[in-house]
Structure 1
Amino acid sequence: MMHAKIKELLSNAQRRLVGSIAVICLQFALVFVASAAPQTAEKEADLKAVRARIDSIRQSLHAEAGRRDALSNQLKNAELDIQSKRQSLAEIRSERRASERQLTELRVEQQKTEQQIAAERQQLAATVRVAYINGRAEQLKLLLNQQDPAQLGRMLTYYGYFGRARADRIASIGDRLAHLELLTERIAAEAERLKQMEAIQVERVGSLAQARQERSRQLAAIQAGLKSRGDQLKRLEREAAGLERLIAELRRAITDFPALAPQAFQKVQGKLPWPVTGKLLARFGSPRSGGPLKWEGILIGAAPGTQVRAPFHGRVIYADWLNGLGLLVVLDHGGGYLSLYGHNEELYRKVGDVVSPGDPLGALAERAAGDQSALYLEIRRGKQPL
């Protein structure tokens, strides 16, 4: 019953990453050592580290929230700026449409004026022709004494008046036409200016919209980061609460569990037989898969089903599945020394069992296709791989 209780407590403290296996094993080992002070001190140190991490995340959350608020304010200003630019663009477009309508009206009036001038010119030409013809006839009559000279003079004077009046009218219409042409040029220039302003304003609105979109993306990323960090903070707070409970349980449990008799593991370290007979596939400290990580133990190739035997006296402090190592056995040899045996397909021991050299711990598992079956062996003293 006591073993099951300890196993349940320890299972709640497992880690996922293989690189942190020593920390896990040390936490489990603390349940079975004789002194209560080092055990609780280790857990209290873990709790302190978790709380420090919580404080760090809270500070980070505060900073990210400030950045989020700043971006939100920038986004608001961008929205207002875009709205202002769009209103200005609408006004420019309205002015441009009015100018184009006025330009169309002026061109119609210009065309009518040109037609009117053409008609006046035709009438003036006709008047001149009539005056010329009539004048010649009257002069001939005068020479033949068939016409009163005074009457002829009056007729010629009248034709002169008519011609000058029509010429003045043509000149007036011409002045009006010139004014229309000048006004048309000015309105056309204004319409072109408004067209260019519209293009510039459209470009500004587009740039502001892109900037707003980028700020929206950044804001969404910050919101996602805040949620992720918030979730992490909640997880760490749960972990801190779990560690507090575990420390209390450890203080109660260590008083009921018999201490392991000290063994001179340090004296025989490096002279012990391998847990299985096989070929060395990976050395301690060699790179793992060509990456930056290095092996903190060794791999010994052997056939599937090969029995894994204890090389030295110890007590089983962990016998369960662990991500990356499969079924794993961890032995506490006293003095802070631990040994780990991974990649088993079957375990023969349970937590709390005391083993002697040569006792079977489990059977080696068959690896995935392409991988040779191998035992992972790691020796630790505290957190330091040996």
Structure 2
Amino acid sequence: MTITSSVSHSSASLRVSFSGAFLCALVSCFSLFTTFAYSASKEELKGVSDEISRQTSSLSSQQKKLNQLQSELKKHEVAISKLGQEIRSNERELSQVQANLTELTSQKRQLEQTKQQQTDTLEQLIKTYYLTSRSNNLPQIIQGGDAEKMDRISQYFQHLAQARTEAIEALAKTQSELTEKEQQLSEEENRQSTLLANKKAKRDDLVKAQSQRKGTVNKIQGNIRSNQSKLAELRRNENRLKAEIAKAAKRNISPMNGLGSYRGKLPWPLRGSILHNYGTSQSGQITWKGIVINAKQGEAVKAVHSGKVVFAEWLRGYGLVLLIDHGKGDMTLYGYNQTLLKKDGDQVAAGETIALAGNTGGQSRPSLYFEIRRNSQAQNPRRWLK
């Protein structure tokens, strides 16, 4: 009994020992496997992390490049706008010079006619004086004692002499005025030549700037070719616009009555076919918050209602923008302009030309981007326009 119990006990101990050893071995193997698996996971995670860093760096680099290109675009388009304003001013000045030249030429022609008449009159007076002197022998009249005739002839000679003096003075004055007009004409002609040369130089600069802008636009389009990049850029542009509208609304409390009573009665800012309608897709889930109207380059853009300009600058994605406050939270926005003719703080009347249409903001064709906002919320412009 005792022997059997000892054997049984030994067998049990052996089984326990064997089981412990097996478990230890199993735990050891599992530990090695876990270590191996953990090492593999670390390598994989490191690879994923490196790839994420690379892509982030790539995106950051791409965004940086895009920002740089947009800055270049702004520089080109602002320069083009400035050149456009200078050329427009130059053309107005040339028009005034031309009007001056026409007026001076007319005045010169009249003075020349007056001079000719005065010359003829003076010649006639001299001739009359000479003939009168010959036909009236004063010594004989004096000897004859005809005092009455002598007095009459003397008065006549005095009259002729006075008339001749006046004619000479008038002729001298006319000649002086004529010389002055010729000098003014010469100065205006020189001014015209300078303006024409200046205009040609600015036109050349404009062509150069437009060429540079085109190259930058192409680079930007290549940079945001993917839908995701385009969508991100559109979102950023929209947020920038919202921020500017919010800032303008905050700093301007207008006493005007707003657009409320003009729904469906507002004139169009310019006439043209609609390229993009309010609410239609721009890209992905981004929709148009206004309308895009086809336009001719340099076409007049008019204010749809009287108000105050509260923003007049270049804005990424929208180019040269004018924002007009009409009171009671109502605003109208005019984008893609080639040239702005009004500045921040200007009062404008309904129908007044405020800008010239263009394709700034990187647009591929001349058009006008037009928005109506009520308390910063975009409205469908077509419900407000005639």
- TM-score interval, smaller chain: 0.3 to 0.5
* TM-score normalised by structure 2 residue count: 0.44
Q: TM-score, normalised by structure 1?
A: 0.44
The structure number with the bigger radius of gyration is: 1
